[in-house]
Amino acid sequence: MKSELVFVPYPGISHLRSTVEMAKLLVDQETRLSITVLILPTLYGGEVGDPVLSAASSDHRIRYEVISGENQQSSEPRNLDSHVENQIPEVRRVTAKLVHDYSTSPNSPKIAGFVVDMFCTSVIDVANEFGLPSYLFYTSNAGVLGLGFHVQRLYDDGKYDVSETEFQDSESELIVPSLARPYPVKWLPYALVSKEWQQIFITQARRFRGMKGILVNTFADLEPHALKYLSSGGYDDAPPVYPVGPLLHLADESKKQSEIFEWLDEQPEKSIVFLCFGSMGGFSEEQAREIAVALERSGHRFLWSLRRASPGTKSPGEFVNLEEILPEGFFDRTKERGRVIGWAPQVAVLANSAIGGFVTHCGWNSTLESLWFGVPTAPWPLYAEQKFNAFLMVEELGLAVEIKKHWRGDLMAGAAAMETVKADEIERGIRCLMEQESDVRKRVKEMSDKCHEALMDGGSSRVALKKFIEDVMKNTFG
């Protein structure tokens, strides 16, 4: 019997790309399976346009249904949960058409269920209306998934009392079952303490528990402790977890900035520190100057993707005149060993043999990309779950070096909330990151090998993917 899954990714580029990679893996693994991906409008009312869609559209068993953003009434940022809820009527309409078309056409697949993004759980109401099972695609790691479950349980039991105004100065620790060591309250993601966001994420975790299964973008050797906890039934009534990562979009973007790659190819192996902070990562003029001073003092070659912070969580812009922003004479003094650019083709840069270290916002996709290419990282968390990711990589797994012990501020609270990191801290972190014989570098190399092995035939992630498909078929056809 042929079957089809309906994917509903959150319309952010990092979520969309990993979802498409997930879809491609599934149809490669199971020839009887097809996938329809519903593309929701962005939070600002526009439609998602990205080459990743056209690149994957060549597979006839993956198709895209774009839901128009024309009816979005405001260009101002809105609550992401309510934004997804606003798309429910259109999701319902598309689902009804799919069900009708397949029921009236011979040899059509049977819809086997919805696979929804971690930020699209309200869509399960549509799945329930049509009697379809729902699965979760969790685009981050197993550890933070466990943290979310744990905080939700504490909250529901009346045992979670963390103040938004005081948590950053707290010396308290949480015993989080998905971590092997205590987790400092001051490292909590802003969303779990903010009055604006907390209820969204608590509700989200409750909804997770009603899923038939959870696909997680991680792999067995990376997070054995968290996955053991999640798979042991130790988190009560939550569903089975399938670690199927790393799910990476590795398309070659190098042609977009060929002059940068000509320069990289001339540099010694593992000699360059790469600084890049994701699609939302921008800095104030003061912070940019501190980074410049640190890079110059460190003496290391560098490639720096520098962008200007924008209000709130809007995408960063470009500095108009870096000569006026950075220390006087900086470009003259570093012209032989460094380059400052705007947007960077991150995957292609990390793949280059000249890269020896990566200063990153520690988004989960970026973290997995660095492991894939065996590049050690120094986390600089900016928003979302990135403080947790930094703790996981530095403290829990020993796969990264620290720049600071504690990071104050979060872009979700506004750029003004971000604490300026001083040059001496940044310089110290860069020097530690670029040590060629460090234990961290050796551990990253070992984990990189395991990362590749997980995706090979018989590897842990392939086994988990196969189990997921078997469970989907069993839930669909009995």
- Taking the C-alpha atoms of residue 7 and residue 466, their distance in angstroms, rounded to an integer, is 18
Domain count, the chain: 2
- Rounded CA gap, 30 and 200, in Å? 35
Q: How far is CA 251 from the centre of its chain?
A: 17
pTM of the predicted structure, to 2 decimals: 0.94
Say which DSSP state 396 is in. I
Domain span including residue 359: 254-451
Question: In this predicted model, what pLDDT tens digit does every residue of 250-300 receive, in sequence order?
Answer: 876 655 568 999 999 999 999 999 999 998 899 999 999 999 999 999 999
Instruction: Say yes or no: 403 and 328 in one domain.
Output: yes
Same domain, 230 and 307: no
What confidence tier does 419 reach under pLDDT thresholds 50, 70, 90?
very high
Shared domain check, 292 and 191: no
Determine the pLDDT at residue 77.
Answer: 43
Q: Looking at the structure, do residues 395 and 471 belong to the same domain, yes or no? A: no
| Distances 257 to 248, 249, 358 between C-alpha atoms, Å | 21, 18, 19
Are 266 and 349 within one domain? yes
Amino acid code (one letter) for 8: V
**One-character DSSP codes across 413-466:** G-GGGPPPPPHHHHHHHHHHHT-TT-HHHHHHHHHHHHHHHHTSTTSHHHHHHH
Residues 13 and 30 in one domain: yes
What would the two tokens of residue 120 be?
């699209």
Alpha helices per DSSP H over 246-358: 258-264, 285-298, 322-325, 330-334, 346-350
Q: Are residues 338 and 414 in the same domain?
A: yes
Q: Report the length, in residues, of the chain.
A: 478
Tokens describing residue 474 = 């069993």
Q: What is the pLDDT of residues 433-448, one digit of tens each?
A: 999 999 999 999 999 9
Q: Are residues 233 and 287 in the same domain?
A: no
CATH number, position 332: 3.40.50.2000
Cis peptide leading into 311, omega within 30 of 0? no
Q: 355 and 337 share a domain?
A: yes
176 and 315 part of one domain: no
291 and 422: one domain? yes
Classify residue 289 as exposed, middle or buried by CB count within 10 Å of its CB (0-12, 13-18, 19+): middle
Nearest to 22, CA basis, from 390, 66, 33: 33
